[in-house]
Structure 1
Amino acid sequence: MPRHSHTSQLERIKTAITTIQHRYPGPGGAVAVLHEGKVIACQTWGYASLERRIPFTPTSLFRICSITKQFTCATMLARYNDPEILAPYIRKRLPHLLSDPPSIAQLAHNQSGLRDYWAVAMLHGAAIEGHFSPADSERVIAGTRSLHFIPGTSYSYVNQNFRLISEAMEEESGLSFASLLQEHIFKPVGMDHAILSAETTALPDGTTGYEGTKEGGYWPARNHIYWTGDAGMAASLEDMIAWERFIDQQRDDPQGLYNRLCPIVQFDNGHKAPYSYGLQHGKIAGYDITSHGGALRGWRSNRLHCAKLRLSVVVLFNHMAPAQQAAADLAHAFLGDETAKPTPSPARSCPTSPHMLEGLWLDEETGLSARISAAEPGKLQLRYLMLPETLDMIDPHLAENGSVTLRHIHDKTMHTTPPNRAEGAHILMVRPGENRHALLRPYPTTPQPSLEDLTGLYDCEELDNARITITNQGGLLYGGFSGFLGTGRMERLEHLGPDLWVLPCPRALDHTAPGDWTLHFERRQGTIHQLRISCWLARNLIYQRVPKSEADSAARTHT
């Protein structure tokens, strides 16, 4: 235990709660800190609905979004001695998959290799605030033909892994997922207010999620998505407190439900994996924790548990502030202020700019571009995943943070180097949490020879002939997706290098947008014949170019 008096600890936590209320402003919020199964701090504030003047209380329902995933897995483990009994029902939902489907464990550990269906929905033309029904979900998932990695070999966060599990349990049991949650979780745990609220337009008690900022004001978020085992639950602060107490009560039982949820699992090669049964494994101040966040437009939540300290923290916001950071703030307050201070890094001479890693690179395996640029002194910014990452410069050839290492390497056997780069220069990117070692090749940043060479229509057979339209509007290139979910908006493309572009997606059907799509136009004998499109959640989708005569006919029909 941290060596601090009980009184000073409570004072720190109370101060941290006050700070959170002001640092993360918004319509309302709720937090709780538990130690040894007892609530040592609990606070709600603001309004669950500004328009209806409903105060936020410990019994206010709240969309916990992706925190649902651990309850889906808990239901599965409580009901089935061997969850692989659900495998035939997963196979049934992937009728066009050309390889063996992932196992139930691979789904639950986010090692399935499936492309995330919220990202794929954007390729089908989903409207940003559009309706997404169970039928839409079924069609997107059933259309899966390939995986973007072999199951069990890597990690990638995929929402429908848990939707598939919940739907398989429904079919096997003949019961609704709501009934299964009630039988195996809500009643035994004492979560008296918790419900499955799959349709996200409104909650029965009027609690509302909000978009906006303190400066620009807040307005009710619009959601019309139907969630199930991936993010469909609503629960109150009292419900979440009951869950944390339940965890502590079973702490010494190896077969206790939560202990069964959070084993350290491995990838197929024996390397440690960061995720099991809907729970992320991590550390705070050197202590092992299990945690998970939740986010839907207008809602942010986070819960964490440290088994060694018997500490639990819950944070619920009905606005878009970073609940994960607020939860960490409370954990640090419990441990003592000094734990929140970063450990000074060993003194290093700051490499002169430009760093060897700076520039444009391409990951051939995933189809993703990697853009590396100087940030603050001694730092680099990597744009590769959904959000930019900041890395420390270690030496002229190396940069890293806790999640990724980039090392500049030179291999005389490699001869794919573009102009202005040393022959054989590459970057080795290591992501231990994803069990990935990727080779990034340098890519030229010279101008695009011709925009008209790129314009036209491109169809993806993999996605039921979903389409991307590329146009030249006054010397600027635009692109837009369309498919069975509608006609998406046109976005201005960002040029990276010859035949390599980015289509930005800062806002999407789900709260968390897929980020930038890398568009790599590929040529055969000098003529573009196909387009490879990738984002981190949906990689390596091939779009064939529609012949010009067909494209012209389609344009006339549309007109």
Structure 2
Amino acid sequence: MGRRGPAPSAQAPHPRDIYGKTTARRCFGRSWKGALPVEDFNAGAVEAVLDSLPKTVQGPGGVAGVVKDGRIVAARAWGYADLTDARAMTAATRMPICSISKQFTCGTLLATAGGPEVFDDRLAGYLPRFEGALPTVRQLCDNQSGLRDYWALTVLHGARAEQEFRREDALPLIARMRTGHFAPGTQYSYCNCNFRILGEMVMAHTGRDLEDLYREHIWGPAGMETAVLTADTRAPADGVVGYEGSADQGYLPADNGIYWIGDAGISASLNDMLAYEAWIDATRDDPQSIYRRLSGTPHFADGTRAWYGYGLAHERIGDVDFTGHGGALRGFRAHRMNARSARLSVVVMLNHEADAHACAARIARAALGLPDPAEPPMPEGWDGLWLDRDRGMIARTVTDRTSARLFYATGPARLLATEDGALAAPNLRVERDGAGLRLAIAGENTLRHLEPLDEIDAADGAAIAGDYETDELEARLRIEARDGGVFARFEGMLGQGRMEQMIPVAQDIWAVVTRRSMDAPAPGIWTFRIARDAAGKVTGGTLGCWLARGIGYRRIGG
């Protein structure tokens, strides 16, 4: 059995000590500030960034805080947790931290079972139809399983984004999987079901609820006094409301109905999260502490260093290594990061859909005394439409004066020009490859070749109209063409979805426009590639997006 908590000498200071009168100022209204003199901390720059957040991260409300050398040195809470009732956002307001929960699930696994290999012989019970080699449980922890993301698959099973997704719906959906989209351990692909399975395994192993395990092994030792498991997203803690929209469009309350546990589900306040960061610092020198074990360097099966492990992403800002994670639910965004060498942590939580990671990184750069990255002018000739043939996915590059946006994964990646004529972003590099592009994704341990496509404005939708089904999911797809418009409807174990627009992008390649999966945003561009026989008759197609690739459909009924 693993250790059940840190040694008594490694306990974090109690939140009341952190917020004591001698170390901080606190306001229980619409904003909260705290400041401490700490060596090698650029307090003025951090305070300036925090002061700018209500303008630069526009939306109903949010919180942000910084821990340096184990102490809270700056924090803010601004705006409202509920615009209708004018309920102020405070450091005590609990919000969904969403996928940040994954590291807590992995932490309880280490604390209760000692290591993931204990569960390897149990995985087949969760994937009874799986063909080929099963991943290891450690590969689940590191998002190297190759399994398709089950929240993305809810779209193909006929779910509507706002419908109720019950606890008992998850495991049967996961159990239908027959194949993965790559061999386990060879690549990275974000997959929520990895952590859903982990949570279920830990609960079965201990015979206890996950919330009790979180509290015993992490929340309690860390002083996270108000953290709670809110697996049912219809009932958020403290009545906080998440909002969709933007400053241009206005904001409307988001409508969630999913039950998630293990992969997400925790709600916590800024007070809780800063206490967690202080605990991480307090246990930083104990090699057996939970976070030290979680934040070790992960690797792929071939020995290549990976950037994701045990529910933590690894990134570098300047020359400083950080570990952390983001979280997203309709109407909420969050991000936390920790640099062990610099003894620096940043937490950002928003009840709207702005970029919490970019906000946290900006605060971290200010704390480290780093300037904003230079943005050289963007050269011409990078705009285009491309096909990743092996994955069956389209990609698009769109440029403006200083950057390019790559539409390939769940959201656009912003790329800057490099001195050697390429485009780059953290973990991404795009180079010219003859008429095409070469996309190196370091975090995925893969090199993608993107072929240029001749974009079209219209196509014969009647030729592809009809019914299709997939053995992979035991689900159906119906395509209808009406007066030049083409739409798809998915049907499966979760019901019958709404009509989704299909847009022709190239010869026999269509994009399927989905508003979002049940989890957070749409899971990426769904690409449907038409398959024809020797006579040119449509026989089926392959559907996929970044989170769920290579799903074959056959046409039925003529």
Q: TM-score, normalising length from structure 1?
A: 0.87
Post-superposition offset of 1:227? 0.8
2:55 equivalent among 22, 37, 45:
22
* 1:258-297 Cα deviation digits (max 9, x unpaired): 1111111111122111101111100122211111111111
Alpha carbons of 1:402 and 1:332: their partners in 2 closer, same or farther (altered >3 Å)? Answer: closer
2:525 is aligned to: 516
Alpha carbons of 1:309 and 1:300: their partners in 2 closer, same or farther (altered >3 Å)? Answer: same
1:243 equivalent among 267, 276, 280:
276
Q: Secondary structure at the match of 1:340?
A: coil
Alignment of 1:58-73 (within 5 A): 58-73=91-106
1:342 equivalent among 367, 373, 392:
373
1:439 is aligned to: 449
Post-superposition offset of 1:213? 3.1
Alpha carbons of 1:6 and 1:181: their partners in 2 closer, same or farther (altered >3 Å)? Answer: closer
Counterpart check, 1:289 vs 2:333: no
Q: Secondary structure at the match of 1:111?
A: coil
Q: In 1, Cα distance between the equivalents of 2:162 and 2:508?
A: 31
Moved more, 152-161 or 92-101: 92-101
Alignment of 1:239-318 (within 5 A): 239-318=272-351
Post-superposition offset of 1:497? 1.6
1:542 is aligned to: 552
Q: In percent, how many aligned pairs have the same letter? A: 39
* 1:347-372 Cα deviation digits (max 9, x unpaired): 9xx86x545xx544322221112334
2:389 equivalent among 364, 375, 394:
364
Post-superposition offset of 1:5? 8.5
Post-superposition offset of 1:378? 7.2
Counterpart check, 1:450 vs 2:460: yes
**How many aligned residue pairs are there?**
521
Post-superposition offset of 1:468? 1.5
Moved more, 241-250 or 55-64: 55-64
Counterpart check, 1:48 vs 2:67: no
2:481 is aligned to: 472
Q: In 2, Cα distance between the equivalents of 1:524 and 1:515?
A: 29
Alpha carbons of 1:54 and 1:99: their partners in 2 closer, same or farther (altered >3 Å)? Answer: same
Alpha carbons 1:31, 1:314 under 8 Å: kept: yes
Structure 2 residue runs of 5 or longer lacking an equivalent are 1-36
Alignment of 1:371-410 (within 5 A): 371-373=396-398, 375-377=399-401, 380-392=404-416, 398-409=422-433
Alpha carbons 2:47, 2:74 under 8 Å: kept: yes
Post-superposition offset of 1:303? 0.8
Q: In 1, Cα distance between the equivalents of 2:406 and 2:322?
A: 27
Q: In 1, Cα distance between the equivalents of 2:141 and 2:190?
A: 10
Alpha carbons of 1:427 and 1:215: their partners in 2 closer, same or farther (altered >3 Å)? Answer: closer
Q: Secondary structure at the match of 1:175?
A: coil
Q: Secondary structure at the match of 2:58?
A: coil
Structure 1 residue runs of 5 or longer lacking an equivalent are 411-424, 549-559
2:543 equivalent among 533, 539, 543:
533
Alpha carbons of 1:331 and 1:382: their partners in 2 closer, same or farther (altered >3 Å)? Answer: closer
Moved more, 134-143 or 146-155: 134-143
Counterpart check, 1:481 vs 2:514: no
Post-superposition offset of 1:390? 4.1
Post-superposition offset of 1:87? 2.2
Moved more, 299-308 or 83-92: 83-92
Alpha carbons 2:41, 2:368 under 8 Å: kept: no
Q: In 1, Cα distance between the equivalents of 2:413 and 2:226?
A: 39
2:508 is aligned to: 499
C-alpha RMSD of matched pairs (Å): 2.4
Alpha carbons of 1:93 and 1:397: their partners in 2 closer, same or farther (altered >3 Å)? Answer: same
Post-superposition offset of 1:15? 2.1
Alpha carbons of 1:439 and 1:328: their partners in 2 closer, same or farther (altered >3 Å)? Answer: closer
2:244 is aligned to: 211
Post-superposition offset of 1:237? 1.4
Q: In 2, Cα distance between the equivalents of 1:57 and 1:260?
A: 32
1:132 equivalent among 149, 165, 168:
165
Alpha carbons 2:242, 2:254 under 8 Å: kept: yes
Alignment of 1:70-85 (within 5 A): 70-85=103-118
Alpha carbons of 1:54 and 1:36: their partners in 2 closer, same or farther (altered >3 Å)? Answer: same
Alpha carbons of 1:445 and 1:39: their partners in 2 closer, same or farther (altered >3 Å)? Answer: closer
